[in-house]
């Protein structure tokens, strides 16, 4: 059995001890008794090695092992003694002269201008497909075949849009087919990637509303003036805003007030805050694209909650791009306390504020719908159950 086991191994065991085995003249450590070397300092082991053993140990080091310092991984192996100190300029000059004195590699064929060498690239020849092979055979009745045979290209474009082949049409052709407007005589399949030329729309005329006249009508409570639009009127004096808001306190006719892009600031708006606490007929207020601060927008919403008659309030695109988390949460609480607001044009960055405002607007819209259809019995008294705390 011993001879049979020895023949199964490539090396012959000549001597075996507790901790070493000799294989072809090499002593190798093995076995559990290796633990006794754990307590021996590595320095003592290295001191017992000869120079040849140390050289062999260094040569066996893995140069990619990052745990070994670079001085040992990339050691200098030059055994020739230096001829003198390093002179960088002389070294570069020597390398340059050595490169110039080197002979060029011999060419088997000398260079000739205009002569192409090597294989010339030729495109692959694609087999031509006849028209008969590319035809699609459709099983149609006689009437459909006759209709397609006599159809014009614009009719085919309209048919492609009806069938949903939008990749074959441009946007205008597909929209015309879906809306059943009909294709023009110039409709073709060639305009797949052609961009639609935008239509030139003339600029809107300037707002011709007379500021002084309408301001006087609001102050005098003119029954004919129910909607006032000062949008985009530039350079309105501050006193005009203040007089308008003072007249709004006693006005009982005006329902819509638009003051977008008029340069409105916090100073005159403070008078508007006081007017909103007294006015009970205004239902739509638009203050977009002005110079109102976040605290002023909050004060306006607080004034709206006094009578709760305004259903639409818009105040986006103001001087501060970001209202701030504290102002947004205060605005959210004010909106949750309002039971009449169904449209709010205001940008909020906080996700929690946007969610809570949307829920309250939805509650107000549902309550208004129930009131419109006559189910007043299902609406809580004074809307107390619709307020989110």
DSSP letters, 241-253, are HHHHHHHHHH-SS
Measured distance CA(55)–CA(46) in Å, rounded: 12
CA–CA separation, 277 and 292 (whole Å): 19
Q: What is the CA radius of gyration of the chain?
A: 46
Alpha helices in the chain (DSSP H): 2-7, 42-47, 51-59, 70-73, 88-101, 131-134, 142-149, 153-162, 171-178, 211-219, 238-250, 266-276, 294-307, 325-336, 351-372
CA distance 34 to 12: 22
Give the number of domains in the chain. 3
Q: What's the pTM?
A: 0.50
Dist. CA 273–CA 303, nearest whole Å: 6
Question: How would DSSP label each residue in 102-165?
Answer: SPPPPPSS---TT---SPPP-PPPPPPPPHHHHPPP----HHHHHHHHT--HHHHHHHHHHTT-
Do 236 and 351 fall into the same domain? yes
Token duo for residue 191: 């305009």
Measure the CA–CA gap between 20 and 36, rounded to whole angstroms: 13
Quote the pLDDT of residue 58. 74
Range of the domain at 32: 2-53
The β-bridge partners of 229 are 258
227 and 364 both lie in a single domain: yes
> Within this chain, do residues 317 and 251 fall inside the same structural domain, yes or no?
yes
Statement to judge: residues 156 and 236 lie in one domain: no
190 & 296 share domain:
no
* Predicted local distance difference test score (pLDDT) of residue 133: 56
**Do 227 and 182 fall within a single domain?**
no
Cβ(181)–Cβ(161) below 8 Å: no
Strand order in the sheet with 13-16: 13-16, 20-23, 26-29
235 in the same domain as 354: yes
In a domain, 133, yes or no: no
Residue with tokens 């110079």, as numbered in its chain: 291
Q: Which residues of the chain have pLDDT under 50?
A: 1-18, 23-24, 376-389
Write the pLDDT tens digit of every residue in 338-348: 999 999 999 99
Are residue 266 and residue 336 in the same domain, yes or no? Answer: yes
Q: Is residue 362 in some structural domain?
A: yes
pLDDT at res. 16: 44
Whether residues 179 and 217 share a domain: the answer is no
């Amino acid at each position: 059995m011993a001879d049979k086991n020895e023949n199964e191994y490539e090396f012959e065991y000549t001597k075996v001890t507790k901790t070493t085995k000799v294989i072809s003249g090499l002593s190798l450590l093995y076995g559990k008794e290796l633990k006794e070397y754990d307590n021996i300092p590595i320095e003592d082991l290295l001191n017992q090695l000869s120079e040849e053993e140390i050289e062999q140990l260094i040569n066996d080091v893995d140069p990619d092992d990052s745990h070994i310092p670079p001085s040992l991984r990339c050691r200098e192996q030059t055994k020739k003694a230096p001829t003198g100190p390093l002179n960088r300029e002389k070294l570069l000059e020597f390398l340059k002269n050595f490169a110039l004195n080197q002979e060029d590699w011999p060419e088997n064929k000398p260079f000739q201008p205009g002569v192409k060498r090597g294989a010339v690239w030729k495109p692959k020849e694609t087999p031509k497909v006849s028209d008969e092979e590319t035809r699609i055979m459709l099983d149609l009745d006689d009437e459909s075949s006759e209709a397609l045979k006599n159809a014009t290209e614009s009719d085919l474009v309209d048919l492609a849009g009806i069938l949903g082949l939008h990749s074959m049409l441009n946007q205008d052709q597909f929209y015309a087919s879906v809306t059943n407007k009909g294709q023009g005589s110039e409709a073709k399949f060639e305009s797949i990637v052609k961009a639609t030329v935008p239509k030139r729309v003339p600029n809107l005329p300037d707002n011709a509303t007379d500021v002084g006249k309408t301001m006087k009508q609001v102050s005098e409570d003119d029954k004919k003036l129910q909607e006032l639009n000062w949008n985009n009127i530039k350079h309105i004096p501050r006193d005009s805003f203040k007089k308008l808001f003072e007249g709004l306190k006693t006005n009982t006719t005006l329902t819509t007030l638009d003051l977008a892009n008029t340069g409105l600031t916090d100073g005159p708006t403070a008078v508007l805050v006081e007017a909103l606490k007294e006015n009970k007929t205004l239902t739509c207020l638009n203050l977009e694209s002005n110079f109102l601060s976040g605290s002023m927008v909050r004060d306006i919403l607080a004034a709206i909650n006094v009578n709760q008659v305004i259903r639409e309030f818009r105040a986006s695109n103001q001087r501060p791009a970001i209202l701030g988390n504290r102002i947004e949460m205060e605005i959210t609480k004010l909106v949750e306390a309002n039971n009449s607001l169904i449209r709010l044009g205001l940008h909020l960055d906080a996700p929690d504020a946007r969610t809570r405002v949307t829920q309250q607007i939805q509650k107000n819209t549902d309550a208004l719908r129930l009131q419109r259809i006559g189910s007043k019995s299902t609406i809580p008294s004074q809307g107390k159950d619709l307020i989110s705390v």
